[in-house]
Structure 1
Amino acid sequence: MTCTPHPATFRLLDPHVGWEQPAGGEPGLDGIVGFDDPAGVRLARSGPAPEGPTREQLLPWFPDPRLAPGCGPCAWYLLVPDGPGLLRRDVCTGAWSTVWPPGCDPGLLREPVSVAARGHRLVVVDGDRVLVWRREGEQLAGVIRTDEPRWAAPAPGDEILVACAGGTELRRYDSTGAFRGLLRTGARGEVVGLRAGEGRTVWLLTDEDGRLTIHRGVNRRGGHRSFRVATVDELAAALPPSALVSADEDGFCLREDGPDGAVTTCHTWQGGPRQTPPTATAPYVTGGFFLTGLIDSGISRCRWHRVRVDADVPAGTAVAVEIVVSEDDLYDETDWQASPPGVTDFLVDQPPGRYLRLRLRLSGDGGATPVVRRIRLDFPRSTSAELLPPAYRTDPAADDFTERFLSLFDASLADLDRVIERYPALLDPAGVPDRVLPWLAGLLGLSFEAGWDAGTRRKLLEAAPELYRRRGTPWALREAVSIVFGVCPVIDELATDRRWAWLREAVGSEGPQVSHGTQGQGLGTVRLFSRSSSRFRIGGSALGAAPLRAFGAPDSDPLTAHAHRFRVLLPAGSADEQALLRLVERQAPAHTVGSVRTGGAGFVVGSRSTVGVDTAFVPLPPPVLGGEHPLRLNRDGVLRPGPRGSRRGVGVGVVSAVGVHTQVW
């Protein structure tokens, strides 16, 4: 569709190809990070760690060492080294009081450093020892002595993890102080936060020259733990955040749910009320720039064409691009061309030159940052003006205007070309966004239930060609139910349960052959619908050769009760019967009638029961005489075990009564 004579070449600036950072230590970067991050470059975070999480972000999971959440959403412990020692927050009034009432303080705290709690266990790091209490401080369980402890965390299984100053190794103890072993995390820096999660998972926060890093340790075979770097999102998904929202040198604030909504309360480090909340610091710097080196086109006097910036620009932020083109590395500051405000796609209006230099400026309000994923530089200039007669290009000024004017239409046509090129990808269920799945299903004539997730919808779309090809067969119905509900159903065709006439092969010494004797039935020798075998009739059916039915008519059973009818059986609790019935109606052939059944609590009396669907083996209730529901002897209970005892199963060759001598092993 495009009218350009040939596709232009281009140069990409991204983490995969490179950002062409200036060489030789030339100053060209300030306040921008993420050049090796596939997500893109962005403004640096404020503080000493521009690329890692900030301390304010991690407060809900790694609070100040003097503060620890307790048992319950409103329970907190506060360590006051120069005051009363250890305080506990009242869950009803929100006031702080000492853990040990006056006169009951054991006086064990001498140089407290940090506090931690889990359930009803309380741990305090005090000087060169770790004190462990049970019952929220009522019972001293043990004293752990080690060199320079700084952090401690109670873990599942009556385990205490201790981190010492200046390293990242963890020491394992039990509550009584017995040493269990050493955990080598492999992390660099120093531990500044320690938490134990569910499933014996350990979370570390380390500080390496001002850069904060989260580490997650999981159990491996043999009781060992393997540590790896984790993100804030992983931490938030594994551990629920606490109510701590801010902290500074003067105190901290808790944000908790109240009867009238969320309420923020601020406290000092001595447990008193605080009137002014801590001042929130901006997470990002407000501005930064990046200057590339000389980008070589390899073409002398190259006419650079276009600059395209792929970026996310939230409200309150901005992205600006400046370029300069030269034949060498000599240019003036007034030669720079700046992009219009808010524009991320513009034409190069520069004289021809082999080299291009780009300056990227990011700005924001401190609360958010723009993210630039990629910058594309198109060269040389290639437009549909080259297809015009030479008379339109005799004047250089008019030629330049014509090229830039037609570039507007060429860009629109190029966008249409990209849509057409990517159109086959829109038919790939695995590659389209979730919101496109209903549209793709409409092309294939499928309809989705409201409760189906995106994974189920994608599986149905992938299986649609084979489901359509084999639609109306038991395989297609079974496959559709398996995809939607995750279980393989039992499809019971009712007509196969009756004894109609059939032709079959009899296997003899000379191979398969059609037999008209006792091994098979021939046409003309038996009724297609035998009245004496389809339903029990007095005077016409042999005992045990026909079923007893209390409904329907024997003469019309072959057509009204059994022919073209089937039943879909699923175990109890595996699917919603109404949703299953709607799916069966859409997948079943038009001339058939389908029904569904999910398993219940036991055998279905009076109808067919399928093992695994309608079957449940449960013990008899204990026999109790009298009470609200009196026991009726010989009807509601078993008063004595069988001859082989109450713990024996069904005996082969002896008399066994169901409910008396029966056990399923």
Structure 2
Amino acid sequence: MTCAPHPATFRLLDAHVGWDESAVHDLVGFAEEDGLRLAACGGWPQGPTRAELLPWFPDPRLAPGCRPCSWYLLLPDAPSLLRRDGCGQWLPVWPPDCHPDLPRAPLSVAARGHRLAVVAPDRVLVWRRQGEQLAGVIPGRGARLAALAGGDEVWVARAGSTRLWRFSSAGRPRGVLRTGVTGEIIGLRTGPGGVWLLTDDGGRLRVHRGGPRTPFAPATVDELAAAVPPSALVEADGDGFCLRENSADGPVTTCYTWQGAPRPEAPPAPVCHVPAGSYRTRLIDSGVSRCRWHRVRVDADVPPGTAVAVDLVVSEDEHYADSDWQSAPPGVTDFLVDQPPGRFLTLRLRLSGDGTATPLVRRIRLDFPRTTSADLLPPAFRQDPAADDFTERFLSLFDATLAELDRVIERYPALLDPAGVPDRVLPWLAGLLGLSFEAGWDAPTRRALLAAAPALYRRRGTPWALREAVRIVFGATPVLDELAADRRWAQVRASGAGSGPGLGAVRLFGRSASRFRVGGSALGAAPLRAFGDPDSDPLTAHAHRFRVLLPAGSADEDALRRLVGRQAPAHTVGAVRLGGRGFVVGAQSTVGVDTAFVPPRPPVLGGARPVRLNRDAVLRPGPRGARRGVGVGVVSAVGVHTRMS
């Protein structure tokens, strides 16, 4: 606020400007946009917790498969590997008669596509085809975790080391990668964005992202969630785990023991927060001697069972007494400052909860100096200090309401922004612009039409506007044929300058195809028209007519016809045609609309039981002997049945 060209009128406390914290107790989130909250229970109050990271870093005994409902479960005691089928049952990957010799006490399992990997302390076994073919054995002591990457690679993390070893599925080494992370690697996976690591550094869980050509750097849970889709794992404890999957009836949660047996759904583990926390600011300088601080507004979410309390004190210097603090009424997050004038303000924020939830404070705004409608009153109304203070507080109620109305008016242009309004507001916004939406158009299409409406209105009735409207709605750019230039009658005359088109350039029509003329047309073979000049029929028969062509399957024909009817000028007639398959030589055909270059159909001999040549029959010479080339008088199509020799 000190760099503004005008005197400051408010001060913000948030993650962008800073919280000016002087003393903090059991509160976190000072550098996060979400805001301040109570610290989490456990060794690291900042989080994240292990339960929050389960969808991306499951228990080492679990691994998601290639299909959404496919999972692998490792039984270290047996040892054995189970796979979950589509019915929710866990079945052995290998039948008893061909069960491979798994190492004793395996530690973890990994899966990607059709490949599987089982990690033991002394080696890693890799299979292809979901366990049908053993691809290789990777030796190495201390192996703890493995992840299968693209390019037939296997990444291995070993106990007591922060390095990653790269191998092929057959076990050939491909190098060692130094991650440079601190702590112990307890989670390893590959996916979009490179390699993701989960480390435990003295109770603090951290997520790192990197790769062979990218150094590893800390990452947030939000970045992980944006890059890697979460799995269905939502709960894991000592008794088993739970999967939450989508079904026709909505999300369904199923729970299993660590042996693959069903178990009742376990209650979710409560999110633990400390019961109370506080924070106090430094001296906030208004820059005005004996400043009358006006208002405090706290932007916060307060769930049931939680509370937010605000205390403040105003002083001319750093000295003040404990009895000088002003406490806001319980549950009030917008109140006036009732303190003597002073240059500095100190604020204290206290958050409390029941342990399962926490309030969230996003921003605090401090307004100064005091400015109310009482400043507009004559001095006679402000002679008594006690009455003047009451008048200011009373008028502040109306000032706050008017300020909210002013904010709504200031933000009114945002209501006309197609990219910012909710989906349900789009039809109302379209009504202001004279647009109408069809029921099948999704929200992105509607937003694109609203954004392009000014340009479409400026060029309405032009081929560009029609093509652009069709492209926005159906995602394909159409071909527009104006028929006036393509369908003219031809005049047969001597060739020369100014003689017009010759034969073969335009289509020929007889007189009976034009309007009826006495002595020149047969009755019943020519149309009767009572307007216009017959000599202009070759030019006006298809004037103001056009055709919209789109590839087959790119749009709904009825919806396209309705859109063309709304966008076409009133004096024109538009037709719609979606491309078919193949084209006819000699007739008009548009490449990309109704053109398909395909091989000819195989020749088939007729009869009661037709056969295909070169597959179901053997041809032999006829009674006249073998023939070569083309025989005169025999039916032959050049390029199909002929061979020049």
TM category, shorter: 0.7 to 0.9
1:29 to 24, 32, 45: 24
What corresponds to 2:254 in structure 1?
A: 264
Report if the CA contact (8 A) 1:156-1:200 is conserved.
no
1:580 aligns with 2:560: yes
2:110 to 102, 112, 116: 116
The structural deviation recorded for 1:292 is: 0.9
1:68 aligns with 2:63: yes
1:579 partner letter: A
Deviations 1:180-209 (A, max 9, x none): 233455655432112234x79543323344
Deviations 1:35-79 (A, max 9, x none): 222333333333334334321122233222233345652543223
What corresponds to 1:340 in structure 2?
A: 329
Secondary structure, counterpart of 2:408 in structure 1: helix
The two structures have a TM-score, normalised by structure 1, of 0.77
Report if the CA contact (8 A) 1:204-1:214 is conserved.
yes
The structural deviation recorded for 1:316 is: 4.6
Report if the CA contact (8 A) 2:62-2:72 is conserved.
yes
1:57 to 52, 59, 62: 52
1:143 aligns with 2:122: no
Report if the CA contact (8 A) 2:490-2:508 is conserved.
no
Distance (Å, rounded) in 1 between the aligned partners of 2:607 and 2:49? 67
The structural deviation recorded for 1:20 is: 0.9
Distance (Å, rounded) in 2 between the aligned partners of 1:534 and 1:202? 70
What corresponds to 2:198 in structure 1?
A: 205
How many residue pairs align between the two structures? 594
Q: Compare 486-495 and 232-241 and name the one that shifted more.
A: 232-241
Report if the CA contact (8 A) 2:81-2:92 is conserved.
yes
The structural deviation recorded for 1:307 is: 0.7
Report if the CA contact (8 A) 1:79-1:115 is conserved.
no
Deviations 1:236-261 (A, max 9, x none): 56655444332234443445679998
What corresponds to 2:74 in structure 1?
A: 78
The structural deviation recorded for 1:574 is: 2.2
Distance (Å, rounded) in 2 between the aligned partners of 1:481 and 1:580? 8
The structural deviation recorded for 1:298 is: 2.2
2:176 to 173, 182, 195: 182
The structural deviation recorded for 1:593 is: 1.3
Q: List alignment gaps of at least 5 residues for structure 2.
A: 1-5, 515-523, 614-618, 621-635
2:498 partner letter: Q
1:612 to 592, 599, 611: 592
What corresponds to 1:125 in structure 2?
A: 119
* Correspondences of 1:222-301 after superposition (within 5 Å): 224=213, 231-232=220-221, 235-236=224-225, 241-254=230-243, 262=252, 264-267=254-257, 269=258, 277=266, 280-282=269-271, 284-301=273-290
2:298 to 265, 289, 309: 309
2:10 partner letter: F
Report if the CA contact (8 A) 2:245-2:253 is conserved.
yes
The structural deviation recorded for 1:520 is: 7.3
The structural deviation recorded for 1:631 is: 6.5
2:203 partner letter: G
Deviations 1:203-245 (A, max 9, x none): 3323344333334557xxxx85676655545655665544433
Secondary structure, counterpart of 1:617 in structure 2: coil
The structural deviation recorded for 1:141 is: 3.5
Distance (Å, rounded) in 2 between the aligned partners of 1:201 and 1:442? 47
The structural deviation recorded for 1:18 is: 1.3
Distance (Å, rounded) in 2 between the aligned partners of 1:374 and 1:422? 19
Report if the CA contact (8 A) 2:57-2:188 is conserved.
yes
1:570 aligns with 2:550: yes
2:583 to 596, 603, 619: 603
1:535 to 488, 506, 509: 509
The structural deviation recorded for 1:13 is: 0.9
Distance (Å, rounded) in 2 between the aligned partners of 1:194 and 1:552? 82
1:175 partner letter: S
Secondary structure, counterpart of 1:376 in structure 2: strand
What corresponds to 1:159 in structure 2?
A: 153
1:330 aligns with 2:319: yes
1:468 aligns with 2:461: no
What corresponds to 1:647 in structure 2?
A: none
Secondary structure, counterpart of 2:16 in structure 1: coil
Q: Do the aligned partners of residues 477 and 628 (structure 1) sit closer, same or farther apart at CA in structure 2, a change above 3 Å counting? A: farther
Secondary structure, counterpart of 1:112 in structure 2: coil
Report if the CA contact (8 A) 2:47-2:204 is conserved.
yes
What corresponds to 2:385 in structure 1?
A: 396
Distance (Å, rounded) in 1 between the aligned partners of 2:298 and 2:206? 31
Distance (Å, rounded) in 1 between the aligned partners of 2:236 and 2:310? 38
What corresponds to 1:18 in structure 2?
A: 18
Q: Do the aligned partners of residues 472 and 400 (structure 1) sit closer, same or farther apart at CA in structure 2, a change above 3 Å counting? A: same
What corresponds to 2:521 in structure 1?
A: none
1:377 aligns with 2:357: no
Q: Do the aligned partners of residues 291 and 77 (structure 1) sit closer, same or farther apart at CA in structure 2, a change above 3 Å counting? A: same
Deviations 1:155-174 (A, max 9, x none): 34432111123444322212
The two structures have a TM-score, normalised by structure 2, of 0.79
2:498 to 519, 524, 532: 519
The structural deviation recorded for 1:401 is: 0.4
Distance (Å, rounded) in 2 between the aligned partners of 1:616 and 1:404? 80
Distance (Å, rounded) in 2 between the aligned partners of 1:334 and 1:313? 28
What corresponds to 1:438 in structure 2?
A: 427
Report if the CA contact (8 A) 2:308-2:331 is conserved.
yes
1:623 aligns with 2:612: no
1:496 to 467, 476, 485: 485
Q: Do the aligned partners of residues 390 and 224 (structure 1) sit closer, same or farther apart at CA in structure 2, a change above 3 Å counting? A: closer
Secondary structure, counterpart of 1:40 in structure 2: coil
Distance (Å, rounded) in 1 between the aligned partners of 2:433 and 2:413? 15
2:16 partner letter: H
RMSD of aligned residue pairs (Cα, Å): 4.2
2:36 to 38, 41, 53: 41
What corresponds to 1:594 in structure 2?
A: 574
Distance (Å, rounded) in 2 between the aligned partners of 1:9 and 1:477? 52
The structural deviation recorded for 1:380 is: 1.0
Report if the CA contact (8 A) 2:490-2:507 is conserved.
no
Q: Do the aligned partners of residues 470 and 196 (structure 1) sit closer, same or farther apart at CA in structure 2, a change above 3 Å counting? A: same
Distance (Å, rounded) in 2 between the aligned partners of 1:89 and 1:255? 17
Secondary structure, counterpart of 2:335 in structure 1: strand
Distance (Å, rounded) in 2 between the aligned partners of 1:107 and 1:466? 70
Q: Do the aligned partners of residues 466 and 77 (structure 1) sit closer, same or farther apart at CA in structure 2, a change above 3 Å counting? A: closer
Q: Do the aligned partners of residues 311 and 451 (structure 1) sit closer, same or farther apart at CA in structure 2, a change above 3 Å counting? A: farther
What corresponds to 2:396 in structure 1?
A: 407
Distance (Å, rounded) in 2 between the aligned partners of 1:371 and 1:460? 38
What corresponds to 1:363 in structure 2?
A: 352
Q: Do the aligned partners of residues 69 and 405 (structure 1) sit closer, same or farther apart at CA in structure 2, a change above 3 Å counting? A: same
What corresponds to 2:627 in structure 1?
A: none
Q: Compare 372-381 and 202-211 and name the one that shifted more.
A: 202-211
Q: Do the aligned partners of residues 597 and 313 (structure 1) sit closer, same or farther apart at CA in structure 2, a change above 3 Å counting? A: farther
Report if the CA contact (8 A) 2:489-2:509 is conserved.
no
Distance (Å, rounded) in 2 between the aligned partners of 1:259 and 1:500? 62
The percent of aligned pairs where both chains have the same amino acid is 68
Distance (Å, rounded) in 2 between the aligned partners of 1:377 and 1:159? 57
The structural deviation recorded for 1:306 is: 0.5
Distance (Å, rounded) in 1 between the aligned partners of 2:550 and 2:28? 56
Distance (Å, rounded) in 2 between the aligned partners of 1:93 and 1:567? 53
Secondary structure, counterpart of 2:176 in structure 1: strand
Report if the CA contact (8 A) 1:87-1:96 is conserved.
no
The structural deviation recorded for 1:613 is: 1.1
Secondary structure, counterpart of 2:21 in structure 1: coil
Distance (Å, rounded) in 2 between the aligned partners of 1:624 and 1:560? 48
1:424 partner letter: P
Report if the CA contact (8 A) 1:251-1:278 is conserved.
no
Deviations 1:546-586 (A, max 9, x none): xxxx9984978669952221111112222222222222111
